[in-house]
Structure 1
Amino acid sequence: MEKQYYTIIARATPLGQGSIGVIRISGNKVINVIKHTLKLKYIKPRYAYYLPFFYKNKIIDKGIVLWFPKPDSFTGEDILELQCHGNAILIDLLINDIITHINGVRIAYPGEFSKRAFLNKKIDLTQAEAIADIISANSKQAIFSAMNLMNGKFSLLLKNFKDLIIDMRIKIESFLEFNHENNFSIFCKKILIKIKKSLKFLIKIIQYVKNGIKIKEGIKIVLIGPPNSGKSSLMNLITNKNVSIVTDIPGTTRDILHEKIYVNSVPIEIIDTAGIRNTTNKIEVIGIEKTFQEIKNANYIFLVVEDQISENILSQIIKKYLKNFLKKIPIIIIRNKIDITNSNSEIIHQNYYVIIKLSVKNKKGISILANFINKNIVNTNSNEDQFTARARYIDSLNSINKLLIKGQKNFLKTYSLELIAEDLRLIQKDLDLITGEFTSKDLLDNIFSQFCVGK
């Protein structure tokens, strides 16, 4: 790894002209920058000064200066912030002048300020990722959820779970060391109770993470069904836009159409797909293949059918097209065109499905669908403690879940404390991968390279 203690400099505000431009400097050469650019020997920490900025011994601008000496700064190093006018040429002149005249100062790499904060143990890896989430948040809830991640909501959950794992490891190692054979049966029962408690807590964490991924990436609802069942009309009604072409000709929708809406600040992506049916039309076949690719990535499936469809045919459609997704992705059956069958609009909870009867044409029952989306899709994925999350979290947590379940099964068969102790060690290692306490340089480089330069 390159010497971390090169002093780094970068503009912390977006490119382009603006009223204010911020230059951030971090490292042990900050005091040299103060002397060179401000012509001062010392300024008081954490005070805002209005001072002239010098370029080749001439005043080029005036602005606000803030100094944060180590270790009480974001990066854990000396940090200086220069707030000048937001002219790109002016900012470049100041940065180039500092790099040219002060040895050991270079332009920061993307995300390097946050990376140094992580390496100096000011934040863990999840909190570093939260910074990028705050910047890229596309809804109010995403902002608050990213802030929860930044404030350590997820870190605290992981710490509490890790404490359970460490407690078991300590107790097992202690028992093996002192070999209390008379208490072996009682001790094993206590360990099993702790494993069950850990599994229950882990499931709670996994659900939080799954919800966090939905907030970050948006909730995806895929509309599928036979041709002319009303998918495209429903898409237009939900999004309040004419995004889908509606005709009486089967197979009109052949490509995938995406449209995003916001419900209580939660982004929901509605995806209209090609009608599923047996067809020899090559273009339509490609559209149907794309439909199944979208289903694999969906959070919810809305199966749109005509209300007059028989239960037998409906079962055949589900069996043929959705059998691989049963119990994995919630399926909501939309029985459309109740204006033809003269049925009442209603919601029915049946086995693994929710059935909503409505008429897109007459807008009858649409309020039932809207309430369902609001209460059962949006509200179940949002609360005050929710945080944004990433796929890598769920990968590690799923690995931990498998290890814990396997360890529990093997322990019930063998009562081998040595084997369960090894499983718990591997679990702790996976936990440390999430927070960055144990991680590879490649993973760090990949994560921080996605940040903007000034962060």
Structure 2
Amino acid sequence: MERNTDTIIARATPLGQGGVGIIRISGNKVFNVIKHTLKLTYIKPRYAHYLSFFYKNKIIDKGIVLLFLKPYSFTGEDVLELQCHGGPILLDLLINDIVNISGIRIANPGEFSERAFLNKKIDLTQAEAITDIISANSKAAVFAAMNLMHGKFSKLLKIFSINLINLRTEIESFLEFEYEINFSIFCKNILRKLDKLLDNLMHIMEYVKNGIRIREGIKITLIGPPNSGKSSLMNLITNKDISIITDIPGTTRDILHENIYINSVPIEIIDTAGIRKTNNKIESIGIKKTFEIIKKSNYLFLIIEDKMSEKNLLKIINNDIKKYIKNIPIIVIRNKIDVTNSVPELIKNKDFTTIKLSVKTKKGILILMNFIRNNILYTNNNEDQFTARERHINTLNNIYLLLKEAKKEFLDIKLIELLSETLRLVQKELDLLTGKFTSKDLLKSIFSNFCIGK
């Protein structure tokens, strides 16, 4: 990406009044600012100075000044921070006065972080962590974002990259020098290393999926026939009277959302219109919205009455749900066990999990909540978990498909040249994650979402 040599300036604190306002300057004109605004020729780096700020040769404020010389700064350039009182007029006067210095301009959104990336102070995943820290909506998200910033994800990718490079080196050496070797043993060794790469990748992908859940929260949508207990379960889980409860089918006609926190992870519970055939236009609109929401969910809770037969249950799943969605886990909630005199329990089979409970008596609710904690919340519940985003999982999915295809082709035709080319494409995809190979459009998209002062 094209480097910009301008010195940039922006306020690093939010707009509005505050006790303290911070102005950040980065670039080779920092000492011009020291001379212009502080009326000094030099200040000691990495030391807090209490100094006067000048505006048109008049003292306008006093505050703390910090100087960080390259490369020992966030951006990798000379950086100056002015900490003054947080009045917006005061900050604007200082900034507008400083940009009159030749070679200094207002920073673009995310440009400080972009320069840190371009100067190899951080990789692309660490740059993304900055926005995750700022926008974190839970305690778990804060710590996970800090783990991303500290390179937890980068370290996993580095280990994977080293193993990939070693495999590519071994293959390229074989192609280049064609040294004498038992080809059968060579192929077995290559396949073993491919399997190791795939196992390593699956481990990383699990972390990333959990990281997306922490960053974005988990969407659980309640679906099912009318009067099965969706709204009652919504009220019970959220501990609020959100959904209207009646015996009249089709009472819930709009989508109701409520956010809760379990183990500091945000969960969005969504109550939807009962799925059934109806001639009511308003209810039909609600059912249409239900299927739109379903496609964006992480999990589906299909609430039915316990008396429903397995045959009718499978009919709902196969005919009313699975033809509209793919790859979204379905948890069947058999409600009203107080009517059927059943016991609360959790039943697992290869297609879905069933939880038997009674919303009315609250029997089995503990089983449901423990299932959410142990199976729906992120499973890598440890100090190394980091935040992640769809860009990460999409790229890793591409890598996974490339590796699976490479293994299949190698098993079929044992063509080393084809495997070598596929692994080169894997390396290219991997470099997209950290930014070693990144298109200008991708960088622009990522950093444009940052705050101006970051």
**Range into which the TM-score falls when normalised by the shorter chain:** over 0.9
1:80 and 2:80 are equivalent in the alignment = yes
1:209 — aligned with what? 208
Q: Structure 1: state its 5+ residue gaps.
A: none
SS of 2:50's partner is: strand
1:228-243 to 2 correspondences below 5 Å: 228-243=227-242
Answer yes or no: is the 8 Å Cα contact 1:109–1:453 preserved in 2.
Answer: yes
Q: Name the counterpart of 2:222.
A: 223
State the Cα distance separating 1:176 from its structure 2 match: 1.0
State whether residues 218 and 266 of structure 2, in contact with CA within 8 Å, keep that contact through their aligned partners in structure 1: yes
Aligned equivalent of 2:103 = 104
Q: Which stretch shifts more, 315-324 or 35-44?
A: 315-324
Residue aligning to 1:199: 198
Q: Aligned with 1:106: secondary structure? A: strand
Shift of 1:328: 2.2
- The amino acid of 1:339's aligned partner reads D
Instruction: Give the conservation status (yes or no) of the 8 Å contact 2:295–2:325.
Output: no
Judging changes above 3 Å, is the alpha-carbon distance between structure 1 residues 279 and 381 closer, same or farther for their aligned structure 2 residues?
A: farther
Corresponding residue number in structure 2 for 1:65: 65
* Amino acid aligned to 2:449: Q
- Which residue in the other structure is 2:276 paired with? 277
Q: Once the 2 structures are TM-superposed, how far is the Cα of residue 358 of structure 1 from its aligned partner?
A: 1.4
Within-5 A mapping of 1:37-436: 37-100=37-100, 102-324=101-323, 328-378=327-377, 380=379, 382-436=381-435
- The AA in structure 1 aligned to 2:51 is L
Give 1:202's aligned amino acid. L
Aligned twin of 2:24: 24
State the distance in 1 between where 2:412 and 2:367 align. 50
Q: CA deviation at 1:381?
A: 5.5
Q: How far does residue 316 in structure 1 lie from its aligned partner after superposition?
A: 1.5
How many residues get paired? 454
SS in 2 for 1:53: strand
Residues 210 and 384 of structure 1: CA distance in aligned 2, closer, same or farther (over 3 Å): same
Aligned residue in 2 for 1:13: 13
The alpha carbon displacement at 1:324 in A equals: 4.5
Contact 1:111 1:453 in 2 (8 A): yes
* Counterparts of 2:178 and 2:81, CA distance in 1: 60
User: Residues 72 and 215 of structure 1: is their aligned pair in 2 closer, same or farther, counting only changes over 3 Å?
Assistant: same
Q: Is this contact kept in 2: 1:22–1:84, CA < 8 A?
A: yes
- Give the Å deviation of 1:3: 5.5
Residue 417 (structure 2) pairs with residue 451 (structure 1): no
* Secondary structure at the counterpart of residue 380 of structure 1: coil
Bigger shift: residues 278-287 or 194-203: 278-287
AA aligned opposite 2:173: S
Counterpart residue type for residue 83 of structure 2 = Q
C-alpha spacing 1:326/1:97, structure 2 compared with 1 (3 Å): closer
1:214, 1:381 within 8 Å by CA — same for their partners in 2? no
- Kept in 1, the 8 Å contact 2:291–2:324? The answer is no
Q: Which moved more, 1:133-142 or 1:272-281?
A: 272-281
In structure 2, C-alpha distance between the alignment counterparts of 1:57 and 1:8, rounded to whole Å: 22
- Percentage identity across aligned positions? 70
Letter in 2 for 1:310: S
Residues in 1 aligned to 2:126 and 2:383: alpha-carbon distance in whole angstroms: 17
Q: How many Å apart are 1:342 and its aligned residue?
A: 2.2
Letter in 2 for 1:408: K
Letter in 2 for 1:72: Y
Please list the CA deviations of residues 297-344 of structure 1 after superposition, one character each: whole Å capped at 9, or x if unmatched: 221111101111122211211221233589822221111112222222
Q: Which moved more, 1:331-340 or 1:148-157?
A: 331-340
Paired residue type of 1:437: K
- Deviation at residue 346 of structure 1 after TM alignment: 2.1
Label 1:292 to 1:383 Cα distance change in 2 as closer, same or farther (>3 A). farther
Letter in 1 for 2:166: D
Offset at residue 348 of structure 1 (A): 2.1
CA distance in 2, matches of 1:348, 1:183: 51
CA contact (8 A) 2:116 2:122 kept: yes
3-state SS of 2:99 partner: helix
Given that 1:327 and 1:352 are in contact with CA atoms closer than 8 Å, whether structure 2 keeps it comes out as no
Assess if the C-alpha contact under 8 Å between 2:210 and 2:378 holds in 1: no
User: Bigger shift: 201-210 or 346-355?
Assistant: 346-355
Matched to 1:164, the amino acid is: N
Aligned-residue CA RMSD (Å): 1.5
Which residue identity lines up with residue 234 of structure 1 in the other structure? L
Distance in 2, matches of 1:182 and 1:18, equals 72
AA aligned opposite 1:438? F
Matched residue type, 2:132: D
Name structure 2 gaps, 5 residues minimum.
none
SS in 1 for 2:429: helix
Letter in 1 for 2:17: Q
Q: AA paired with 1:162?
A: S
Instruction: Give the whole-Å Cα distance in 1 for the aligned partners of 2:422 and 2:3.
Output: 37
Task: Assess if the C-alpha contact under 8 Å between 2:255 and 2:273 holds in 1.
Answer: yes
C-alpha distance in 2 between matches for 1:373 and 1:430: 34
Q: Secondary structure at the match of 2:379?
A: helix
